[in-house]
Amino acid sequence: MAILVEMRKEELMIEQPEVNKEEVYQTKDLNLWYGDNHALKHINLDIFENEITAIIGPSGCGKSTFIKTLNRMVELVPAVKTSGEIYYRGRNIFDKNYEVEELRTRVGMVFQKPNPFPKSIYDNIAYGPRIHGIKDKKILDEIVEKSLRGAAIWDEVKDRLKENAYGLSGGQQQRLCIARCLAIEPDVILMDEPTSALDPISTLKVEELIQELRKNFSIIIVTHNMQQAARISYKTAFFLNGEVIEYDQTNKIFSTPSDKRTEDYITGRFG
Amino acid sequence: MLWMKGVFNMSSQKYAATLSVQEMIAKKKRQRKNWSEKIMPVILQLTAIISVLTTLGILFTLLVETFAFFKDVSLKEFITGNTWYPFSEPGQYGIMPLISGTLRITGIAILVAVPIGLAAAIYLSEFASDKVRRVIKPVLEVLAGIPTIVYGFFALTFVTPILQKIIPSLEIFNALSPGIVIGIMIIPTIASLSEDALGSVPIAIREGGLALGATKLEVTLKVVLPAAVSGIVASIVLGISRAIGETMIVSIAGGSTPNLGLDITGSVQTMTAYIVQVAQGDAGYGTTIYYSIYAVGFALFIFTLIMNLLAQWISNRVKEDY
C-alpha cells in the first residue's frame, strides 16, 4: 500500500474546482438482465458534471454494460431487461417520451475499438452535424476543424481531409472517433475502454486529450487499466459481479479503500 | 525438482507399441505414400486448366463462326444496319433491333428488380427479426430455383392478361410482361447478395452512427448502404447479366419481331431469343443465317464483358473500404 500511496502523490492531484457541481447522471436502484443473467444489481450512483469518472473492475463485472446503459446502447442486445431509473440532467431516460436519439445527441460515446465510418476524414466528422440538419458547407468546415483540433489530431490530418479514415493509424482513428463525437458538442462523453486497442504512445495521447476535454465535458470512462484510472480520473467506481463495491474520489480509492475487495483488486490480488 | 523428473519420464515413455510418439510418427511418415502429396496439386491444377481451356474453346468456336459470317455480311452493316430480317432474300443483318429488344427488356427488369431487391435486402439485413429472416431468405432462394420456362408461361398466361386489362393496347407478345417477370426472377439474386453485403458491414460502424443520435434509418441509408455499395453493385450487375442472357422467358412471352425503338407494348425479339429461334431448325448448316447466330452470340459476349468491366470500374470508384 505504501508504494501505491507514493505513486498516487505524484500522479494524481488533478486540480478540481470544488464549486457547486450538478449531477449529470443519477441512477436509482438500476438493475439489468441479459436473459436470466443478472448483470447489474441495484446500482445507485451520482455522477457529476465536468469531472472524469472512471469505472474499474475485472472482466465481466458489468462496467461496460453500465456505461452502455447510460445512453441506452445496451438495448441493441436482444433480450435485455432493465428496472430502476437513470436520471440524466433530472430526466428519466427510460421514460416513454424520452427519445433515445435525443439522449444520444446529448451523450456521446467512444468505443473500445476505433470505429470510424468507411468515409473520408471530413465526412466522418460532418456526419453527426449533417444528420441533425446542419448542411451549410461553411459551418461544417468550421465544425470539422474545431472538432479535429479539439481531439488534437488536426495537424496530422489537415492536408488529407478527403482521404479515407481507414488510412489512419489505430491511435489516430480513435482520436478521429473522439473528434466525431465532439462535432455535435455533447454534454457527456462515455468512453468504453477507449485505449485498450492502442499502443502506449497513442494511449498517452488519448489520455492527455481526455484530460483536456474535462474542462468542457463530463466524461465517464470504463477502463481495464488501473493506472489509467488513477492517472486521469477524479472519481472512481469499482464494480464487481454487477455491483458497485465502492465509489469515491480516486485518490481515496487508490490509497485508503474502505472495502477489502477494492483493496484486493487494486493491489492486483485478482482480476 | 520432482516435477522435472516427471516431465523427463513422460518424454521417454513407451506405449503398448513399445515406441515413443515421435518414433511412431516417424514410422508412419515413412510408410505414408507420398504420391498423394505430389499428384493432388497436379489434379487440382488440371481442373483449373480445363475451365480456362473450355472458355478459350468456346471463344474460339464463336470467333471462327463469326468470322465465317462476316464473309457474307459486312461488319458495317451488322453494326449500323437498323433492320434485322435474315429470312428475306437477301437477308438483312443489322443487329441494332435485337440489341434494342434486349435493352428494353433488361431495362424493365432492372426497374422492377433493383428497387424491390434492394429494399428487401435492407429490410432483411437491418430491420427483420432473426425469425422473419430465417423464413424469408429460404423462400427467396427457392424463387431463384424455379426453372425459367415456368417463368415464361407465368409471363404469357398470367402477367400478360392482367397487364392487358390495365393497358388495353398491349399485344399478346410484348416486352413489358417478360421484362417484369425477368425482374421478378432476378429479385432473389439482388436481394440475397445485397443482404450479404449489408450484413458484412461491421456492427461497430452501425453503433458509431447510433451513438451520435442517428436513427436506424439514417444509419442504414448513410452509413451501412454506402459501406456495402461494392457488393450491392456486384449483385445488380449479376442480375443484369442474367437479364441480358435470359432466353426462355422472352422466347415464350416476348414474341419474335426484331424492331428498333422504345415500344414496349408490342412484340420484340432479343439477341438470345433470335438464337433460339434459329437453333430450333429454321436454318441449314453453313448458311448465312446459321452463322448469324454465332455473330449475335459474339455480340452478346462483348455486351456482358463490357457490363462486367463497367461494374468493376464503378465499384472501384465508389467503394468505401473498411
pLDDT for position B13: 57
Query: Measured on CA atoms in the order B113, B118, B124, B127, is the torsion positive or negative?
Result: negative
Residues 6+ apart with CB under 8 A from A161: A120, A121, A122, A144
Nearest chain B residue to A131 by CA distance is B214
d(C-alpha B51, C-alpha B193), whole Å: 24
Q: Which domain holds residue A239?
A: 2-266
Rounded to an integer, the average pLDDT of A228-251 is: 93
- Domain ranges, ordered by start, for chain B: 96-269+303-318
Rounded to an integer, the average pLDDT of A113-133 is: 94
pLDDT digits (tens, 9 = 90+) for A171-182: 999 999 999 999
pLDDT for position A9: 42
Q: Number of folded domains in chain A?
A: 1
Helix extents (H) in A98-219: 100-106, 121-131, 137-150, 154-157, 170-182, 200-213
pLDDT at A245 over 50: yes
pLDDT at A142 over 90: yes
In degrees and rounded to multiples of 5, residue B168 shows phi and psi of -60, -30
Mutate to test the interface with B, among A64, A71, A115, A123 (most CBs of B within 10 A): A115
CA distance B194 to chain A (A): 18
Q: Is A111 on the interface with B (CB under 8 A)?
A: yes
Query: How many Cα atoms are found within 13 Å in the side-chain-facing hemisphere of A201?
Result: 3
Q: Is B208 on the interface with A (CB under 8 A)?
A: yes
pLDDT for position B321: 63
Mutate to test the interface with A, among B212, B225, B232 (most CBs of A within 10 A): B212
CA distance B321 to chain A (A): 6
- Among candidates B204, B213, B322 on the partner chain, residue whose Cβ is nearest the Cβ of A105: B213
CA distance B308 to chain A (A): 25
Contacts of A132 in chain B (CB under 8 A): 213
d(C-alpha A221, C-alpha B159), whole Å: 61
> Does the beta-carbon distance from A180 to B222 stay under 8 Å?
no
Q: Is A69 on the interface with B (CB under 8 A)?
A: no
Q: How far is CA B279 from CA B96, B272, B276, B293, in A?
A: 20, 10, 5, 8
> Does the beta-carbon distance from A73 to B210 stay under 8 Å?
yes
pLDDT for position B50: 96
> Does the beta-carbon distance from A104 to B210 stay under 8 Å?
yes
Quote the percentage of chain A above a pLDDT of 70.
Answer: 93
Cell output for A262: 477494492
Contacts of B322 in chain A (CB under 8 A): 118, 166
- Burial classification of residue B39, based on how many CB atoms lie within 10 Å of its CB (0-12 exposed, 13-18 middle, 19 or more buried): exposed
CA distance A95 to chain B (A): 17
DSSP code string of B89-117:
SS-EE--HHHHHHHHHHHHHHHHHHHHHH
> Does the beta-carbon distance from A109 to B205 stay under 8 Å?
no
Q: Is B217 on the interface with A (CB under 8 A)?
A: no
Q: How far is CA B37 from CA A65, B41, B50, in A?
A: 52, 7, 21
pLDDT for position A269: 78
Q: Is residue A271 part of a domain?
A: no
d(C-alpha B173, C-alpha B196), whole Å: 37
pLDDT for position B14: 57
pLDDT digits (tens, 9 = 90+) for A144-158: 999 999 998 999 999
d(C-alpha B116, C-alpha B189), whole Å: 11
Q: Is residue A237 part of a domain?
A: yes
pLDDT at A7 over 50: no
d(C-alpha A220, C-alpha B130), whole Å: 34
Torsion angle defined by CA atoms of residues A194, A197, A199 and A202, in that order, rounded to the nearest 10 degrees: -30
pLDDT for position B282: 63
> Does the beta-carbon distance from B212 to A181 stay under 8 Å?
yes
Strands B92-93 and A52-56: unpaired
> Does the beta-carbon distance from A118 to B211 stay under 8 Å?
no
> Does the beta-carbon distance from B320 to A73 stay under 8 Å?
no
pLDDT for position B9: 53
pTM of this structure: 0.80
Q: Is A102 on the interface with B (CB under 8 A)?
A: yes
Task: Say if residues A229 and A54 touch (Cβ distance below 8 Å).
Answer: yes
Nearest chain B residue to A116 by CA distance is B205
> Does the beta-carbon distance from A117 to B223 stay under 8 Å?
yes
CA distance B114 to chain A (A): 24
> Does the beta-carbon distance from A111 to B204 stay under 8 Å?
yes
Pick from B107, B111, B85: nearest CA to B98? B85
- ipTM score here? 0.87
CATH number, domain at A208? 3.40.50.300
CATH of span B96-269+303-318: 1.10.3720.10
Strands A23-34 and A46-48: antiparallel
Confidence band of A17 (pLDDT split at 50, 70, 90): low
> Does the beta-carbon distance from A118 to B210 stay under 8 Å?
no
Q: Is B127 on the interface with A (CB under 8 A)?
A: no
- Among candidates B213, B226, B322 on the partner chain, residue whose Cβ is nearest the Cβ of A104: B213
Q: Is A147 on the interface with B (CB under 8 A)?
A: no
Mind listing the pLDDT tens digit of every residue in chain B (322 residues)? 445 444 455 555 556 667 788 888 888 877 776 777 788 899 999 999 999 999 999 999 999 999 999 988 888 888 888 888 888 778 888 999 999 999 999 999 999 999 999 999 999 999 998 899 899 888 888 888 899 999 999 999 999 999 999 999 989 999 999 999 999 999 999 999 999 999 999 999 999 999 999 999 999 999 999 999 888 988 998 899 889 989 899 999 998 888 888 888 888 999 999 998 888 876 778 888 889 999 999 999 998 888 888 888 877 776 666 6
pLDDT at A183 over 60: yes
pLDDT for position B31: 75
pLDDT for position A16: 52
pLDDT at A37 over 90: yes
pLDDT for position A1: 42
Mutate to test the interface with B, among A74, A117, A185 (most CBs of B within 10 A): A117
Q: Is A98 on the interface with B (CB under 8 A)?
A: no
Contacts of A116 in chain B (CB under 8 A): 205, 208
> Does the beta-carbon distance from B214 to A113 stay under 8 Å?
no
> Does the beta-carbon distance from B211 to A102 stay under 8 Å?
no
